[in-house]
A and B are shown apart, each in its own frame.
Chain A
Amino acid sequence: MTAAVSSSPGAKRDATAAAGSASPASRWPGQARVVACVTVHVDGPAVEAGKGLAPLGSNSRGRYAMRRGVARYLDMLARHGVKATFFCCGHDVEHYGQLYRDIDAAGHEIAAHGYQHEGWDLGDAEPALLEKTHRLIIEAVGKAPVGWCSPSGRKSRHTLPTLARLGYRYDASEKDLDEPYFPEGEGENPSFVILPNNTVSLDDYPFYATGQALACEVLANFIAEFEAIRAAEGYLHLTVHPMAGGGSGTPARAAAVERFLAHLEGCPDVAFLTLAELAGHCLAHPQAFGGGPA
C-alpha cells in the first residue's frame, strides 16, 4: 500500500484535483458544497480502566461523559437537528448500556472505538478485542456497528482484515488526505472506505490538553478550518469529546461546539451526515472518490 501510494503521488493528486475542483458539489448528497460529519468520541471510564485506574476522584474525567457530557450532547444535537456518529468503547457499553440505547434511540450512529481505548500495540490480541467490542455493541443496542475509529490513531496489519470480516464499511483513523478514499485492492466494487479524521484542526482534545487553548480560540480555529475546507474538498470531519479534562463535555467548551454547529447550520451549502451515511454514499459512487471501474 505504502509503495503504491508513494510511487505515484502525481496520479493520486491528479485524481484529487479533478474531483476537487471541477464540480465538487456534485460529489456530495443533495449537491451540498460541504459535507459535515460530527463525531462524538465518548471515551468514558474505559480510558481510565485501560490504564489500570479506578474511575474515582481525579480519575473520573471519563465518568463525566457518562454523568453529564453525553446527555448534554444529545440535547445539543437535538436542538440543532443534527445526527452524529458516536464512537464508543466496548468497556463503557458493557457498563452503561442504557446510555448507549439512548444515543441509538435519538437516531445517532453507534460506531466502535476499542474496548478500553487501547492506545498501544495489541499484537495478536487485536482481532479478539475488536470482536469483543463488536459483540458488546450488538448486545446493548441490537445493531452491528459499521464504522471504527482507532483509539489514539493506532492500527496494525490485523485491523482492516478483521474489520472487513466483521462487516464494517469504513475506518476513520487515517490522517493522510482531506477526503474519503478507498484502500488499495478494493477494486471496481469497493465494500470498504477510508473516511480520514482531522486530529490536526478539527479535534478539541489536542488544543485543550496540549495547546492550552481557550474555548473561543478553538471555535475560531474550527471556523477558519471550515472556511478553508469549504473552498477546497468540502469534507469536514469534526471530533469532540464529552469528557471533562481535555474534552468538550463541560459547559464552556460544549458552548463553543454548539456555536460551531450554529455557524455550520447558518450555511445553506452544508449537509450534515453520519459517517455511516457518508460511507454508504462513497460506496455507491466510488468513481467520485478515485475508485470504481478504471
Chain B
Amino acid sequence: MRKTVILTVNVHGLGPEAAEAPEAGLFGRFAHGRYTYRIGLWRLLDSLAAQRVKATFFWPVFEAERCRALLERCLADGHEVAAHGNAFEDHAGLGDGEAALLETAHARLAALSGIEPKGFRSPTGTLSPATISILDRLGYAYDSSFLDDDAPYSLAGDGGPRMVELPFAEGLADATHFRRRLTQARAEAFLVEELDALIDADSYACVTLHPRADLGVGRAARLLMLERLIARIRDRHGAALRLCREVAEECRQGGSVIWDGRPRS
C-alpha cells in the first residue's frame, strides 16, 4: 500500500471571531485572525512553494471574499481549493436553511475561484443529519469533517452514496496543541507521535494546519516546524503528499471505497 498524507489548511482569519461579534469591534486578542491576511497565509504559501508541496485549502466564503489576492495565489500555486462553509455557521443548528446556505456558498466559492469545489469540511466542526446528502446532490466527491476512522471510507451510510470520507485526526492538527498554549517543541512532539502511528496503522494521515499566528503555523518559527514535519513524511515514511480530490477519486472504485485493498463502508 502506498503511504498517503494529505496536507489540509483551514483558512481562518477573522472569521471565527466575526461570527461572534461585529467585525468593527475586533481588536487585540480578538483580532489574531488579521495576521492571516497580513502575513500568515502569505508565509505559509511561500513555505509550501519552497518545499514543492501541494495542499488542500478549505476556504470559507467569508475569508475568500476578504483575501481575493491570496485565493488567486493559492490557485496559481497549484493547491486545491475546497469548501469550508459560508461564515463559520454551526451546521448542526441551521435547520431548514442549511441547503440554501450550502448552495449559495458553493456557487460563491465557485465564482470566486473559477472552479467547482469537490470537497467540504465543516467550518466549526459540526454537521447536521442532512449535510452529507446536500453535498452529494451538489456534486461533492468527499467530506473531511469526521474524526471516526484512521483511513478513508464510504459515506453511503451517512447520505452520500457518491462521496468519500477523508477523516482528519485532531492530534495531527496544529490548533489542537497551540490552543492549549503548549510550547512549540511540545506541540511538535505531539504531532510527530500522531503522524508516525497513523501512517504505520493504515498508510494514511491527514495533517491539518491554520495560517493564524495563535492557533496555527503562520509564524516564522512554526513554519520551520512544518518543514521538519514534511521532511519526516517524505524521508522517514516515504509517503506521498497528495491533494484530497486525487485521493478521493482514486479510492472510489465502482460503487465502493477501497483502501489498502479492502472495501470500506
Contact = CB atoms under 8 A, between A and B. Distances in A.
A152 interface: yes
A178 B36 CA distance: 12
Interface of A: 2, 5-7, 9-10, 12-13, 16, 150, 152-157, 159, 173-178, 199-201, 206-207, 209-211, 213, 217-218, 220-221, 224-225, 227-229, 231-232
B241 interface: no
A228 B219 contact: yes
B181 interface: yes
B29 A156 contact: no
Contact of B184 (A206, A224, A231): A224
26 contacts: A2-B24, A2-B26, A9-B37, A10-B69, A13-B42, A150-B28, A152-B29, A155-B27, A156-B25, A159-B27, A175-B28, A175-B29, A175-B32, A177-B35, A199-B29, A200-B32, A200-B213, A200-B214, A201-B184, A201-B221, A210-B181, A213-B186, A221-B183, A224-B184, A225-B221, A229-B221
A221 B185 contact: yes
A281 B30 CA distance: 28
A9 B69 contact: yes
Contacts of B33: 176
B27 A220 contact: no
A10 B70 CA distance: 8
B25 A157 contact: yes
B229 interface: no
Interface residues of B, number: 37
A5 B186 contact: no
Interface of B: 13-14, 23-35, 37-39, 42, 66-67, 69-70, 178, 180-186, 213-214, 219-221, 224
B258 to A, nearest CB: 42
A13 B44 CA distance: 13
A224 B39 contact: no
Of B27, B33, B69, the most chain A CB neighbours within 10 A belong to: B27
Closest 7 CB pairs of A and B: A153-B29, A228-B221, A176-B34, A155-B27, A211-B181, A153-B28, A228-B220
A210 B180 contact: yes
A6 B66 contact: yes
A221 B181 CA distance: 12
Nearest to A178: B39
Nearest to B185: A220
A185 B67 CA distance: 22
B37 A154 contact: no
Contacts of B24: 2, 157
A146 B54 CA distance: 47
B191 to A, nearest CB: 15
A240 B91 CA distance: 41
Contacts of A12: 37-38
A176 B185 contact: no
